[in-house]
Structure 1
Amino acid sequence: MEAKQMIPKSSLPRERLLEYGATALSDQELLAIMLRTGSKSYHVLDVAGHILSEFPSLYDLKSASLDELMQIRGVGRIKAVELQAAMELGFRINKALQPKLGKIQTSFDLAHQLIAELKDHQQEHFICLYLNTKNEIIHKRTLFKGSLNQSVAHPREIFRVAVRYSAARIIVCHNHPSGNPKPSDNDLNFTQRLKECGEMMGIELLDHIITGHDNYISLREEGFL
């Protein structure tokens, strides 16, 4: 079996992760970060190396028992427990599905949910719903509070979140505390800007809903989108 390449102790895995990202680190370095510290006799990178020598395959390590881990030089009960917890969390993350917060059927249904949510606010709240290709809501976030203008609401913040969650479409909404949902020129200009940015990025702006106290305006229904 080919010998494992040992990482020099002068290397600092945490600093390397910060500089190059987690994908640039070896299994030994990632294990060392999880272990945090070594023991009285062994540097943390040595302990990580001992683990990988005992379990050359990460698949085997995933199935290791507490007793097996505790037999490794430099790994006591606490580190064995932490390792098992980290591996179980990784297993659950791997199986995790993206949460769905409901499916958009019509602007009417969505608008009335938002009216109930926003009607008592005394300042404008700008909410973005991030959707997958099935129009299921995969993320919802209040991005801005205050009057809707370019200094407060900026497309880059909206689409940065969209990219993070791999959204195919977005719906944006904000309330008018005055109770009158009629869009201002600023509302219309901002909507057009969002639409153009979305077209460039391949993320559709499905609607912009403006709510009042008990009514709403959908800019898609009104023909602005």
Structure 2
Amino acid sequence: MEIREKINHFGPASMTTEQLFMLIIGSGTKQYPVEQIVQQLAYRSKNFTDLAALNAQTLLQIPGIGQANQGRILALLELMQRLKTCQWLPLQQPVAKNTIVQHLVTKYSGYQQEELMGFFLDVNQSLLAEKILFRGTLTMATVHPREIIKTALMLPCVSLVIAHNHPSGNLAPSQADLMFTQRLQSCCQLFNLNLLDHLIIGQDDFLSFQDRGLL
């Protein structure tokens, strides 16, 4: 049965990852059939477990992939990443730190844009809001605690967790991370808010300021 017939009869869930990529690429070329192209994609991405390896330069090094297929694959990977980072925790439900950690590790796996997140909790530790507070490198000049405090005061918030990702995978907090956390903690104390933790998210791992005695 042809791949297009299979997806029409049984749906995309019945397809292997290789078959899905074959559908995206199309028929390949006379010299490089689509099966061979997909084998190279699988090889270079460690059997599709490291999709970040399929960057623009790498794709053009694979025989049979021209600019058209490069564009299709890059668009697909970007769309996958955007949809993944659009996932949010349910509101008005109690949330534990471990739940936030698992959520963020999944959310930012392979993500190359640094973001600062805030999780705002009520007196019952229920999640009131999950917000992207800043995109870009976290520095004293670009992020001010007052913006976070302002968001918290607009809610019946009593405690919060902040988190940002390190795309490099290095979990060590920078001097800017430490200074920013200290300033935010001082501001929270002025408004009777409890800063529960600052999390740094790497590649499938995390660092907790609270657990390290930095908070």
- Fold shared, TM-score > 0.5 on shorter chain: yes
Q: CA deviation at 1:164?
A: 0.5
Q: Gapped runs of 5+ residues in structure 2?
A: 1-89
CA distance in 2, matches of 1:156, 1:216: 26
Query: Within 5 A, what are the aligned runs for 1:119-134?
Result: 119-134=109-124
State the Cα RMSD in Å. Answer: 1.4
SS of the residue 2:187 aligns to = helix
Q: What is the TM-score with the length of structure 2 in the denominator?
A: 0.56
Query: Within 5 A, what are the aligned runs for 1:107-126?
Result: 107-126=97-116
1:146 aligns with: 136
SS of the residue 1:191 aligns to = helix
SS of the residue 1:214 aligns to = coil
Q: Deviations over 1:120-160 (max 9, x none)?
A: 32121000000001111101100100000122211111011
Query: Within 5 A, what are the aligned runs for 1:41-190?
Result: 100-105=91-96, 107-190=97-180
SS of the residue 1:156 aligns to = helix
SS of the residue 1:152 aligns to = coil
Report if aligned partners of 1:173, 1:209 keep a CA contact under 8 Å in 2.
yes
SS of the residue 2:212 aligns to = coil
Q: CA deviation at 1:203?
A: 0.7
Report if aligned partners of 1:143, 1:158 keep a CA contact under 8 Å in 2.
yes
Q: What is the TM-score with the length of structure 1 in the denominator?
A: 0.54
- Cα pair distance change 1:152/1:139, threshold 3 Å: same
Report if aligned partners of 1:119, 1:175 keep a CA contact under 8 Å in 2.
no
1:211 aligns with: 201
SS of the residue 2:147 aligns to = helix
SS of the residue 1:183 aligns to = coil
- Largest Rg, 1 or 2: 1
Report if aligned partners of 1:104, 1:136 keep a CA contact under 8 Å in 2.
yes
Number of residue pairs the alignment of both structures matches = 126
Percent sequence identity is 34
Q: CA deviation at 1:108?
A: 3.1
Report if aligned partners of 2:158, 2:193 keep a CA contact under 8 Å in 1.
yes
Q: Gapped runs of 5+ residues in structure 1?
A: 1-98
Report if aligned partners of 2:115, 2:136 keep a CA contact under 8 Å in 1.
yes
Query: Within 5 A, what are the aligned runs for 1:13-52?
Result: none
CA distance in 1, matches of 2:108, 2:93: 18
SS of the residue 1:177 aligns to = coil
